[in-house]
Amino acid sequence: MKKIYAVLAAMLAFSTVGGMTIFADEVQQKLPAELPAEKLGQHDLLKMESQYMTMNAKIESIEKKENYYLIFATKPDDEIGIVFTVDENTFIVDSKDGNFMTADTLKNDMSITAILGKKTPMTMSLPPMTSPIGIVVGEENFTSTGYFDEQLTSEELMLQLNISEETKIVDMAGTKKVFTQDDVKNEDCVVLYGITTRSIPAQTNPVFVMILPKQEIEGIEEGIIEVVEAEEFLGESQTEQVPEPAVVEPEPTPISEVNVIPLREIAEKEGFTVTWTANDKPVVLQKDGVEIEITVGQKDYKKNGEVLQSEIAPELKNSKIYISENIIL
């Protein structure tokens, strides 16, 4: 987890910073009586759920830095997108067969699944930034994270693993040993699999299993960057929720006789290519030699270099930017 903070601190130029850290409260659960004593740990005290999660995305652009890569990606139904930091500690595997890849083989338009700890810090910048522990490239097989019990069953996924000799089993540390299904029991894992049965739980013969390390809940240095845990940001928490102070986003300014439209949706319907890499940079629209630059919160915008003014300042609400229709219509 320490490398996450170091990378985030190095990227202050890309984000809006603050001094606050947001963490969701943890809820302890009762332990199943049959769990072997040697397997007990912080993971089990929290809940018999995976401490990891997945995030599907599509690579839009890649920026190589000195010691890491910035992967700008879009998520389904989210025009803001997300930025992943990838370095030498990030594992990258092919969805088809679980073979390992390197960051320099990643390309634009690739479909990826990021593997994140549920307690992984995520910046409150736009777009948000975070450091996945791994990336699965492609969609040839399903990618899931789950906690698998003594019967190799994940209650969260409603999935049971039937591990065979063909199943590739590794751990994230790259330990040189032959892993068996016993090593997978009572562990968090990434699994790549194809066909499943229609039973409950569904059963599958996984192509690839990676045993993930136990998640430790660590503090974060104050004053580095405003962050929120990945689980909270995505709204996919499996634990009991304790109410947090609400962050209220501004509604689009109601101005009479001004039609406000969602930028990306309408712009793409009008044939524009939409590019936005960071909240401190303008959204760029391009079509047939026309280039429009729009900045959230500013009435001034540029059209082919000429500074013009819209009737209202563009506003961000629920992951969408709203603008006055006169800018592009």
Q: Are 137 and 208 members of one domain?
A: yes
CATH number of the structural domain spanning residue 292: 3.30.457.10
d(CA 15, CA 139): 31
Q: Are residues 128 and 176 in the same domain?
A: yes
Q: Is the peptide bond before 127 cis (omega within 30 degrees of 0)?
A: yes
Quote the DSSP letter at residue 76: T
Last residue of a domain, one of 200, 234, 268: 234
Pair (43, 151) in one structural domain: yes
Q: In sequence order, which ranges of the chain are alpha helices (DSSP H)? A: 2-10, 42-46, 181-184, 230-234, 263-269
Domain count, the chain: 2
**Residue 243 forms part of a structural domain:** no
In a domain, 253, yes or no: no
Q: Indicate whether 209 and 291 sit together in one domain.
A: no
Which residues in 60-69 are b (16+ Cβ under 10 Å) and which e? bebeeeeebb
10 Å CB burial of residue 175 (0-12, 13-18, 19+) is: exposed
pLDDT digit string (tens) for 55-82? Answer: 999 999 999 998 899 999 998 777 788 9
Residue 132 lies in a domain: yes
Quick check: is 15 in a domain? yes
183: CB partners within 8 A, 6+ apart: 169, 171, 211
Same domain? For 188 and 113 the reply is yes
Q: Does 146 lie in the same domain as 111?
A: yes
pLDDT value, residue 188: 94
State the residue for tokens 């209202």.
312
pLDDT recorded at residue 9: 45
Please tell me the pTM assigned to this model: 0.58
153, containing H or E segment: strand 153-154
Q: Are residues 213 and 286 in the same domain?
A: no
In whole angstroms, give the CA distance from residue 87 to residue 301: 36
Q: Are 71 and 106 in contact (CB under 8 A)?
A: yes
Residue numbers of the domain that contains 185: 2-234
Do 215 and 272 fall into the same domain? no
Report whether 180 contacts 169 (CB < 8 A): yes
Pair (226, 282) in one structural domain: no
Residues of the chain with pLDDT under 50: 1-47, 217-226, 236-250, 252-256
Give pLDDT, residue 248: 47
Q: Sign of torsion, CA 74 78 81 84?
A: negative
Return the sign of the alpha-carbon dihedral for residues 218, 175, 43, 41: negative
> What pLDDT sits at residue 235?
53
CA distance 233 to 171: 27
Q: Quick: pLDDT tens for 179-236.
A: 999 999 999 999 999 999 999 999 999 999 999 998 754 443 433 344 555 655 555 4
What is the per-residue pLDDT for 315? 83
Q: Does 147 reside within a domain?
A: yes
Per-residue pLDDT at 214: 83
Regarding whether 170 and 37 lie in a shared domain, the answer is yes
162 in a structural domain? yes
What does the angle CA 128 – CA 137 – CA 58 come to, to the nearest 5 degrees?
A: 40
Q: Let me know whether 194 and 271 are in one domain.
A: no
Question: Do the Cβ atoms of 210 and 161 come closer than 8 Å?
Answer: no
SS3 of residue 12 by DSSP: helix
212 and 129 part of one domain: yes
Which two structure tokens, joined as six digits, stand for 107? 């390309």
Whether 232 and 14 have beta carbons less than 8 Å apart is answered as no
